[in-house]
Amino acid sequence: MGAIINGTHKRQSNIRQRADKKLMRRDYVCGTAFGIKRKSGKLTGIPSYVVYVEKKDTEANLEKSQFVPKTVIRNGERLSTDVVEMGPLQFHSTSQLSAPHFIRDNLTPGGTLTCFVKIIDEFFALSCAHVIWGQDKDPMSLDPIELYDKKTDLWKSLGNSITGLRDKGLGYAPDFGYLDAGLASITIKSLQKTLHNRAKLRQILSPPEGYAEISEIQNLPVHARSIVSGKLIEAVITGVYFFHSSGFRFDLTIETHDRSPITFPGDSGLLWLDEQERAVAMHVMGERAETNQGSRISFSTFIFRILKRFNALPLC
């Protein structure tokens, strides 16, 4: 049965990709996702097919062949389109930060500690692979990993990078988008003891099994604590199964209601939670923006998929 379902998802995805290629023949179209329509800049809660463009323009300034159609058919359903502006994709690691929960290889840009995880009876630190992969860009090469300690205002040795995932995904459910995750060992005995004695397991949101279940998470409220801005970010899932013209695919796009900047370089690895405090997704990429101006979109991966590949359990 599983093979039949996966075969159906693959056929649906192939049909979608062929149709999207026609959309992307327009010079300025760079991505698509199953999303939520905006009206006057505000989310309506109405499902739509989001067409991402490098720059929005009026039809008066475009040739007719460049118009985005008002509606499209995807998976047998006619959806209205919604044109949304986005910038080029960029990993959100940085070297310019010293903050609690900031994790890095000591020679390369770092990012956010997603969470600690438990595998059988051992504890590890989880973040994006590109945060801990070191100069050789290999998260399995035992690079020394450091964690910033707010109390002492110093970098402390955490352990070594030990394994990582960098996988473009299948392009269809349930393993749709890009995987970029890595684990680091923990050699700090006091931290190991604390995790063993006090840590609790966090619940995980299960992703949709296919296109039919997308509506269950569209417009889902999520939140995260940014170590870069120091703020609690309140946001919503605005897109599911995002395709980009460069070949990148992501499970989710996440935005604020008013499309204000949401993530910044240094937020790679940030963990999105739902209102029940369940782990939803890991932030991996954003838009490339001007200095000190963050990305309006978080491109994220379902944390369920990452933890399943590592056979790991997330800790609060």
Read off the pLDDT of residues 285-310 as tens digits, 9 standing for 90 and up. 999 876 567 899 999 999 999 999 99
Closest CA to 229 of 113, 108, 110, 99: 99
pLDDT for 7: 66
**Is the C-alpha dihedral spanning 17, 22, 25, 31 positive or negative?**
negative
The answer, yes or no, to whether the previous bond of 208 is cis (omega within 30 of 0) is: no
pLDDT for 1: 37
- Residues (pLDDT < 50) of the chain are 1-5
Beta bridge partners of 313: 118
Domains belonging to the chain, first-starting first, are 2-86 (no CATH), 97-201+310-314 (2.40.10), 203-306 (2.40.10.10)
The CB-based long-range contact list for 193-198 (8 Å cut-off, 24+ gap) reads 195/116, 195/118, 195/123, 195/315, 196/123
| Distance between CA atoms of residues 232 and 226, nearest Å | 6
Query: Quick one: which H or E segment has residue 47?
Result: strand 42-53
pLDDT for 4: 42
Beta bridge partners of 254: 237, 298
Asked if 32 contacts 21 with a C-beta cutoff of 8 angstroms, the reply is no
Read off the pLDDT of residues 73-91 as tens digits, 9 standing for 90 and up. 988 889 999 999 999 999 9
pLDDT for 298: 97
pTM of the model: 0.92
pLDDT for 150: 79
Degrees to nearest 5, angle at CA 242 with 241 and 245: 140
Residue 254: count of CB within 10 angstroms of its CB = 26
Closest CA to 221 of 177, 251, 271, 257: 257
| Distance between CA atoms of residues 248 and 101, nearest Å | 27
pLDDT for 253: 97
pLDDT for 3: 45
Residue labelled with tokens 């998470």: 217
Closest CA to 155 of 192, 101, 229, 91: 101
Query: Quick one: which H or E segment has residue 158?
Result: strand 154-167
